[in-house]
Amino acid sequence: MHEDILSTGKRISYYHRLLRLMFRLHPVISVIWCLMILIPSIFPLLQVWLNKTAIDRISELTGNSLILNQVLFIVAALYLCNVAVVVVGSITNYFYTILKEDVGYQLKVEIARKALSIPFSGFEDSKLYDRMQLAQSAVAKNILDAIKSVMQAVSLTITLLGMIGILFVAHWSLPIVLLGSALPGILLLLIVKKRRVQLAVTTTPQGREMEYTYKLMLARETAKEIRLYHLGETLLSRWEQIFNQVRKLFLKQTVRESLSETIGVMMLSLASGGVAIVLVYQIAGGHLTIGDYVALSTSIITLQAALGNFGQHISDIFVIGLHVTHYYDFIDENHNQSHAEENLLVDIKECDQIFVKNLNYYYNGNDMAVLENISFNVRNGEKIAIVGENGAGKSTLVNCLLGLYPVPEKTIYYGNTDLQRIDKMELWSQVSAVFQDFVKYQYSLRDNVGFGWINRLDDDELIMKALKSSGMGLLNERLVNGLESTLGRLFQDGQELSGGQWQRIAIARAFMRPASLLLFDEPTAALDPNAEMDIFRRFLELSKDKTAIMVSHRLGPARLADRILVLKSGRIVEQGTHQELMELSGEYASMFNSQAAWYQDNVDYSVIREVG
């Protein structure tokens, strides 16, 4: 019970925030829209009174021109009311469209900003994607409908109070009977709607899997493998299986809702029928005029419809309120990595070294260390290679060095400053990197390179210099629209590149920025050995007098580094120059000789085939 009260209080505060956002964006339109929703609440009362008066006057018509004029005036007023309802409704919808679009836009901006503010480590948690999906779904379902439902409920309350007053004049028990019969239906509706929202929440992971599987079947990147391995029917079957599981749950829920709605309508209809019978007896006893009967009958019908709509709006307020809660719960999530962060500014060029001391790192919810007791230093201007087999922890170590993953205090230092105390945005502005999972932006060639230094996006000369540095200087001439050519096949007139060309574009992006720390995290996987060596030589030339870190499981380029760190199972097992490590005849020498064997003529490949 206490939790329900807290939840209701939180939901009301979220409604208040949404209302403030609406009035902040369009204060005048918001006021007008609210008034336009309330104005129609008086029309049903006015129409009931006009109908009663018209019928009573018609019954008195005996050639009296004065009464005839009154009847004609009343009839005209009735039709004007109908026109007013349509006009007010159209104006209300127009203003609501403006509010809905602009508030929806602002909510999407907030989601995007929130996603951009989440630390990189947060994206390792699958539950984050569920919460993000719920927030996006809330915007897609238009959570401003919550405010609309509140206003419409207020408008219907005014209408209901008026109709209750009219029925109360006939007999005090009539409105009580009608309200009492409507209440169970409203409660049932609230219960089943709550279950629907809970069902939507619990099926969010399945929904994301359905969406992912469906996109696999439609994407260009997956088209080759799906056809080569005949995965089409398997993926389609998997998608259909999940779809049918979710469909079955929602169909059951729909049956519950239909039954609840039917029970509510039956109870209200029975009560309305009983009230109508009472009115007939009132007329038979001479207590009511024909006009009174018409007015009261119309009031019953209006009250019945209003109670049904009122229940639906209350249900919508509750259901959409849950979506509003999902949205603001995501927006309000706290993703602070450490309370120790002081946002100190550090100039990497002035740091004598980057120092790592007894670093251990664990992924969320995992008791096994990905990195264990890591200690080393990188001197200013030194070129370091980090090598090891796949899964050794190389990329994780790099992410820790850059502050992308949260690390304990006093484990990583830039100069004498603890990484936890450094302003990460300022740190990243001094770093250029190419990651193994680099992004293929489906934008122009200019964007793909210029994103490396967004402030110089319009600097054609600098972009061309970066392209030449990555060995892609002629690409600009080969593309139809030069730097403005769209890359990739996602958008119209896009031109696709090879895997190696995309990698060189990513490398050119890294070369755009005048960074103090350069990082290559296995960026040359799609390049042949000669191209790979060429890229690493260019990388070292451009990193002259700068600190550079190369990550690779292929050891050829590592020979170009000043020092090599060898990782195995999350530990540094060796470090030194290529020559020093070869003389140790340890892990590095074993890896190097294994890789070199593929390029030697005296290798006995039959042994390898037998092992395979």
139: pLDDT strictly greater than 50: yes
Which of 332, 361, 384 is a domain's end point? Answer: 332
Nearest to 316 by CA among 172, 465, 161, 147: 147
Beta strands in 473-604 (DSSP E): 517-521, 547-552, 563-568, 571-576
Residue 364 lies in a domain: yes
In the chain, the number of structural domains is: 2
Q: What is the mean pLDDT of residues 437-450?
A: 90
Query: What DSSP string runs through 434-497?
Result: E-TT----SSBHHHHHHGGGGGGTT-HHHHHHHHHHTT-TTHHHHSTTGGGPBBSSSSTT-B--
Q: Is 139 helix (H, G, I), strand (E, B) or coil?
A: helix
Only one residue has tokens 């140790």, namely 584
Which of 332, 364, 384 is a domain's end point? Answer: 332
- Structural contact between residues 566 and 537, judged by C-beta atoms closer than 8 angstroms: no
Are 266 and 406 in the same domain? no
Query: Mean pLDDT in the chain?
Result: 83
Question: What range does the domain containing 169 cover?
Answer: 8-332
We report the CATH number of the domain holding residue 47 as 1.20.1560.10
20: pLDDT strictly greater than 90: yes
Are 462 and 504 in the same domain? yes
CA–CA gap between residue 146 and residue 314 (Å, rounded): 10
365: pLDDT strictly greater than 60: yes
Which helix (DSSP H) or strand (DSSP E) does residue 368 occupy? Answer: none
Are 324 and 368 in the same domain? no
**Range ranked top by mean pLDDT from 270-279, 448-457, 486-495, 593-602:** 448-457
DSSP-derived secondary structure letter, 422: B
Please tell me the predicted confidence (pLDDT) of residue 232: 85
Residue 40 lies in a domain: yes
Residue 180 lies in a domain: yes
Are 299 and 417 in the same domain? no
Residue 313 confidence class, pLDDT cut points 50, 70, 90? confident
Are 292 and 407 in the same domain? no
3: pLDDT strictly greater than 50: no
Residue 386 confidence class, pLDDT cut points 50, 70, 90? very high
Residue 594 lies in a domain: no
Q: Tell me, what amino acid is at 586? A: G
- Structural contact between residues 175 and 168, judged by C-beta atoms closer than 8 angstroms: yes
Please tell me the predicted confidence (pLDDT) of residue 2: 40
Are 308 and 444 in the same domain? no
Are 185 and 78 in the same domain? yes
- Structural contact between residues 380 and 349, judged by C-beta atoms closer than 8 angstroms: yes
Residue 576 lies in a domain: no
Are 286 and 433 in the same domain? no
Query: What DSSP string runs through 568-580?
Result: ETTEEEEEE-HHH
Are 399 and 452 in the same domain? yes
Are 486 and 371 in the same domain? yes
Nearest to 348 by CA among 428, 466, 403: 428
We report the CATH number of the domain holding residue 531 as 3.40.50.300
Q: Tell me, what amino acid is at 185? A: G
476: pLDDT strictly greater than 90: no
Per-residue pLDDT reduced to its tens digit, 525-583? 666 777 777 777 777 777 788 899 988 877 877 888 899 999 999 999 999 999 999 99
CA–CA gap between residue 209 and residue 372 (Å, rounded): 34
Residue 99 lies in a domain: yes
Residue 438 lies in a domain: yes
CA–CA gap between residue 451 and residue 462 (Å, rounded): 12
Are 169 and 229 in the same domain? yes
- Structural contact between residues 171 and 278, judged by C-beta atoms closer than 8 angstroms: yes
Structure tokens given for 213: 């599987």
CA–CA gap between residue 108 and residue 100 (Å, rounded): 12
Per-residue pLDDT reduced to its tens digit, 51-109? 777 777 777 766 667 777 877 887 888 888 888 888 998 999 999 999 999 999 999 99
Using only the alpha carbons of the chain, give its radius of gyration. 36
Are 515 and 479 in the same domain? yes
CB-based burial label for 39 (10 Å; 0-12, 13-18, 19+): middle
| Global pTM value | 0.75
Residue 585 lies in a domain: no
Residue 605 confidence class, pLDDT cut points 50, 70, 90? very low
